[in-house]
Amino acid sequence: MGISKDVVKRALATVPGASEGSTLASGDHVLWVSACDSYASVRLQWRPGAPAAELEKVADAARLAVAKAAAGIDTPLDSFIVDFVDHAGTIVKQCKYGGMNPPPAKPAAAAPAGGGHEPIPGLKPSPNPQGKAQALPGVKQIIAVGAGKGGVGKSTVALNLAVGLARQGHAVGLLDADIYGPSMPTMLGLDGLDAIVREKQLEPFCTHGIKAMTMGKLVAPDQPLIWRGPMAHGAFKQLTEQTNWGQLDYLVIDLPPGTGDVALTMAQMMQLAGAVVVCTPQKVAQDDAVRAAKMFRQLGIEVLGVVENMSYFVGDDGKTYDIFGRGGAEMMAQRLGVPFLGAIPITMALRANSDEGNPTANFTGTDPAGRRLSQALEEVVRQAKNQVALAQMRSGAVKPTLSIS
Ligand code: ADP
């Protein structure tokens, strides 16, 4: 029957909290619970400044309690993630447990989505393409944004992630590498502007607080973009290397949908912090997104998490409508054992702002729908930033720091 949120919450109620008589299930500790099949994750707050060993002990006690509760309903706990966050919601420690109960032997076809690393059609086998990849000079972190198929809002998420990071004071670049259907000229309002070449380098468009470059500005808008593999490879390499990015904290790359040549070129060329997978809640969209996530893993790129776009719609009557079945992408993230970065509602303003080339307006709406949208986008930005920081720590590139004030 699978583990439910209630099962997890009941289990947490058996684990002592930080203060006398409290439990982990009390509101002060548990912020978020997610559960599906044999997977569960929780987000907890604990004593500020508690040492890592104490947090690990708490996570361990939570794991034991949830595993026991899961066993009570004849379900193994295959994956359990505990995120400890501070008062600002920043993850300060993550404890991941996996493979605690080896799943019963199943024929390969019945394996859970996300398990295994079977080859992806059309992807040339290559032993970890990230192995030899270099850093891009002047760029601290590179985040790729991918999706299993077109139309799910991949470009929308990439753009708003870039603008959201810039609004927090970071130096951000956005590369529209969706060479088959570049949408950034419209979404950024670049109509009427031409790409400028200076000393054999492309000058990025500086707009909405970011530096952007798009294939859409290098070809005629009505020209059909049909690329063979080597051409796609060359175009991506040129766009990335010959743009004068300067110093960037983050470069966000909007990849073409699906799995293919551009992602492979990117993985071979540059060392990435990780990839964000965008998905709508429906089952059919999830299957494509799982394929995209597997591709990133196969390319040696860490999946930073999944964003559920078009998650729900709030009508003028104030009622929430789960048009596509809200929560599907969150479950998919659970199955893949990757973080869920947040849900973005279907919003008229988001579509209109994109068509008008004004992404800044997505963060400044003052009516209820506008505030809902900006909060959802800011949450995605915050979670993605957290996951980049955690990925850096895991790779050993950055050591954790503790500041005491
Ligand atoms: P993709 O890059 O996956 O092909 P886009 O980001 O171009 O998808 O989005 C496709 C269309 O859907 C665009 O017109 C965009 O404005 C619209 N759109 C995307 N996400 C939302 C949303 N949450 N609410 C309303 N419209 C959206």
Q: Are residues 75 and 163 in the same domain?
A: no
- Report CA(84)–ligand 1 centroid distance (Å): 32
Exposure b/e, 31-65, CB count within 10 A at least 16 = b: eebbbbbbbbbbbbbbeeeeeeeebeebbeebbeb
Please check the confidence at residue 390 and state whether its pLDDT lies above 70: yes
The mean pLDDT of 169-193, rounded to a whole number, is 90
Q: Are residues 153 and 72 in the same domain?
A: no
pLDDT tens digit sequence for 37-94: 777 888 899 988 899 999 999 999 999 999 999 999 988 888 788 888 887 777 788 8
Q: Are residues 374 and 284 in the same domain?
A: yes
Please check the confidence at residue 396 and state whether its pLDDT lies above 80: no
Please check the confidence at residue 101 and state whether its pLDDT lies above 60: no
- Report CA(229)–ligand 1 centroid distance (Å): 26
Instruction: Kindly state whether residue 118 falls inside one of the protein's structural domains.
Output: no
**Alpha helices in 243-298, H assignment, sequence order:** 261-269, 283-298
Question: Which range scores top for mean pLDDT: 197-201, 220-224, 365-369?
Answer: 365-369
Q: Is 292 in the pocket of ligand 1 (CB under 6 A)?
A: no
Q: Are residues 267 and 331 in the same domain?
A: yes
Instruction: Determine which residue's CA is closest to atom 23 belonging to ligand 1.
Output: 346
- The domain spanning residue 194 has which CATH number? 3.40.50.300
Instruction: Kindly state whether residue 125 falls inside one of the protein's structural domains.
Output: no
- Report CA(153)–ligand 1 centroid distance (Å): 4
% of the chain at pLDDT higher than 70: 87
Alpha carbon distance 60, 55 (integer Å): 8
Q: How many residues does the chain have?
A: 405
Report, in this order, helix, strand and coil percent for the chain, each rounded to 5.
35, 20, 40
Q: Are residues 148 and 100 in the same domain?
A: no
Q: How far is CA 102 from the centre of its chain?
A: 28
For residue 336, CA distances in Å to 79, 182, 294 come to 10, 29, 9
- Residue 314 has a CB neighbour count (10 Å cut-off) of 16
- Report CA(347)–ligand 1 centroid distance (Å): 10
The mean pLDDT of 117-126, rounded to a whole number, is 44
Instruction: Kindly state whether residue 127 falls inside one of the protein's structural domains.
Output: no
Q: Judging by beta carbons within 10 Å of its beta carbon (0-12, 13-18, 19+), is residue 23 exposed, middle or buried?
A: middle
- Report CA(50)–ligand 1 centroid distance (Å): 42
Q: Are residues 170 and 254 in the same domain?
A: yes
Instruction: Determine which residue's CA is closest to atom 26 belonging to ligand 1.
Output: 351
Q: Pairing mode, if any, of strands 39-44 and 201-203?
A: unpaired
Instruction: Determine which residue's CA is closest to atom 27 belonging to ligand 1.
Output: 351
At 171, is the secondary structure helix, strand, or coil?
coil
The mean pLDDT of 131-149, rounded to a whole number, is 91
Q: Are residues 26 and 174 in the same domain?
A: no
Q: Are residues 198 and 328 in the same domain?
A: yes
Q: Judging by beta carbons within 10 Å of its beta carbon (0-12, 13-18, 19+), is residue 292 exposed, middle or buried?
A: buried
Q: Which of 62, 94, 109 is at the close of a domain?
A: 109
Instruction: Kindly state whether residue 403 falls inside one of the protein's structural domains.
Output: no
pLDDT tens digit sequence for 284-313: 888 888 999 999 998 999 999 999 999 999
Q: Are residues 103 and 44 in the same domain?
A: yes
Q: DSSP class of residue 272?
A: -
Instruction: Kindly state whether residue 114 falls inside one of the protein's structural domains.
Output: no
Quote the number of domains for the chain.
Answer: 2
Characterise 185 by phi-psi region: left (phi > 0), alpha (psi -120 to 50), beta (else): alpha
Query: In the Cβ-directed half-sphere of 305, how many Cα atoms lie within 13 Å?
Result: 23
Entry pTM: 0.74
Q: Are residues 153 and 300 in the same domain?
A: yes
Instruction: Determine which residue's CA is closest to atom 12 belonging to ligand 1.
Output: 153
pLDDT tens digit sequence for 222-271: 666 666 666 778 888 888 999 999 999 999 999 998 777 889 889 999 99
**Domain encompassing residue 102:** 5-109
Instruction: Determine which residue's CA is closest to atom 16 belonging to ligand 1.
Output: 351
pLDDT at 403: 52
Q: How far is CA 2 from the centre of its chain?
A: 25
Q: Which of 72, 94, 109 is at the close of a domain?
A: 109
Instruction: Kindly state whether residue 120 falls inside one of the protein's structural domains.
Output: no
For residue 26, CA distances in Å to 64, 83, 90 come to 18, 16, 20
Q: Is 150 in the pocket of ligand 1 (CB under 6 A)?
A: yes
Please check the confidence at residue 102 and state whether its pLDDT lies above 70: no
CB distance 272 to 142 below 8 Å: yes
CB distance 381 to 389 below 8 Å: no
Q: Are residues 264 and 389 in the same domain?
A: yes
Q: Is 362 in the pocket of ligand 1 (CB under 6 A)?
A: no
Instruction: Kindly state whether residue 374 falls inside one of the protein's structural domains.
Output: yes
pLDDT tens digit sequence for 318-342: 899 888 878 888 888 887 888 999 9
Q: What band does 402 get if pLDDT is binned at 50, 70 and 90? A: low
- The domain spanning residue 74 has which CATH number? 3.30.300.130
Higher-scoring residue by pLDDT: 221, 28:
28
Q: Give the list of residues 6+ apart from residue 155 with CB closer than 8 angstroms, or none.
A: 176, 178, 183, 184, 187, 254
Q: Is 343 in the pocket of ligand 1 (CB under 6 A)?
A: no
Instruction: Kindly state whether residue 71 falls inside one of the protein's structural domains.
Output: yes
Q: Are residues 16 and 162 in the same domain?
A: no
